[in-house]
Amino acid sequence: MRRRILGRMAATAATLSLVAVLPAVTGGSAAQAHGRDDHGSSASSYKSVGYFTQWGVYGRDYQVKNVQTSGTAAKLTHLNYAFANIGADGKCFEANVAGEGDAWADYQRPLDAASSVDGTADTAEQPLAGNFNQLRELKAANPKLKVMISIGGWGWSTHFSDAARTAASRKALVASCLDIFVKGNLPLLDGKGGPGSAAGLFDGVDIDWEWPGSSGDVDTVYRPEDKRNFTSLAAEFRGQLDALGRKAHKHYDLSAFLPAAPAKIDAGFEVRKIFKYLDFGTVQGYDFHGPYEATTNQQSALKAPRNSPVPHDFSDTQAVGDWLRRGAPARQLVLGVPFYGQGWTGVPDGGTAGLFQPSTGPAPATWQAGNEDYHALKALASSGTYTVHRDVRNGFAWLYDGTNFWTYDDPQVIAQKTAYIKRAHLGGAMVWSLDGDTANGELINAIHQGLAAHHR
């Protein structure tokens, strides 16, 4: 269901060419181990933003409680709840419609005491249950944590272009989203919800439109005028959020998820204008490559290797640099890091431990072929079957067992990325998604330690 697509065409046939071994590659064991102040819970002034997935409470059994017990909540400044959907009428909505909405997960599903953040079982009488009630309990335990409603995503950006097309439609969209989520007027469904039932839960909005002005999911509408309409939509959100904030005597945050591909930036964003309205933007720092391509490669390198078979390859420094060169303020850019890996199978060694080699398809995985959570990859790294390889110079790692190849971030890679965030004076780090971490929050701890080591 994710929304983890870089928003560009698959790599060209150039990726099929083979290359010499990276000079910086080594084998070894897995590593163990804007101008507004966010007043977050991190020890530093950097933002630490984590996405919590609505659907992760099912198969993965990653509950809001896990954000607390792992120690993650204390290390986040913002938790983005993914996702809210926009209907064909151009308005936010809540419903139980397969593939369109899951109000059951959001605020209807009762949780027992063992699954609850505060250790208290839900009752039939309470108007708010599900993830929303647990997020309310999480905030009570972590008063500095901000919870944002993230609207759209890869699969639910279908109607963004239509909804943002006119001043009237933008006003209606924003009003509907803020009424449901910020004012908390959830639809009454089987005794749950109702006026004000979620009031005070959400501290702002994350616009996750993938992508204005260029192609996204197969049914997502896009137009050339999306570029200016995105700016106008951000302005409308900012205006209505500020109006609510004046009444509530608080500031509501506004963020946006931003692409790594230069073509996507140029097609969809008036860069110098949008940051007048956004508190910050999270830059996609992952899915540079994946098993939707025939050749193995890095999915989230800090820097593109010089011997990459892909000309002008993607990387974190490339993505951030492209936003900076177009006028984005460094302190309003938050770098995205993955808590999952991309994998291929049928991969020969080729003298590079599987890197830049042809494959026969996606590697087998727990939930989706070719895509695996970090905690599962850590277990593979410790199994004795796989070897961890690193390109220390360019900031990425991978696992290889002679046929399966996984590219992913571990604490050592994250340490390099947080050091880059500090050097570049960026706004912080963002995580997709929290359910990929270990039970004790190994990766979020690496981010926290890296960013807390420096105070702005």
User: Which of the residues are catalytic?
Assistant: 210
DSSP-derived 3-state class of residue 215: coil
Output the six-digit token pair for 307.
């011997």
Cβ contact 52:434 at 8 Å: yes
Q: 256 forms bridges with which residues in the sheet?
A: 207, 281
Q: DSSP class of residue 167? A: H
CB neighbours of residue 87 within 10 Å: 18
Question: How far is 230 from 380, CA to CA, in rounded Å?
Answer: 42
Question: How far is 74 from 352, CA to CA, in rounded Å?
Answer: 40
Question: How far is 225 from 205, CA to CA, in rounded Å?
Answer: 23
Q: Given the structure tokens 């804007």, which residue do they identify?
A: 34
CA distances, 285 to each of 143, 242, 243, 316, 453 (Å): 29, 30, 33, 5, 22
Q: DSSP class of residue 295? A: B
∠ CA 180-182-187, rounded to 5°: 20
Output the six-digit token pair for 29.
């064991």
DSSP letter string over 261-302? -HHHHHHH--HHHHTTT-SEEEE--S-SS-TTSSB---SS-S
Which residues make Cβ contacts (< 8 Å) with residue 13, sequence separation at least 6?
A: none
Buried b or exposed e, range 125-147, using 16+ CB within 10 angstroms = eebbbbbbbbbbbbbeebeebbb
Cβ contact 38:404 at 8 Å: no
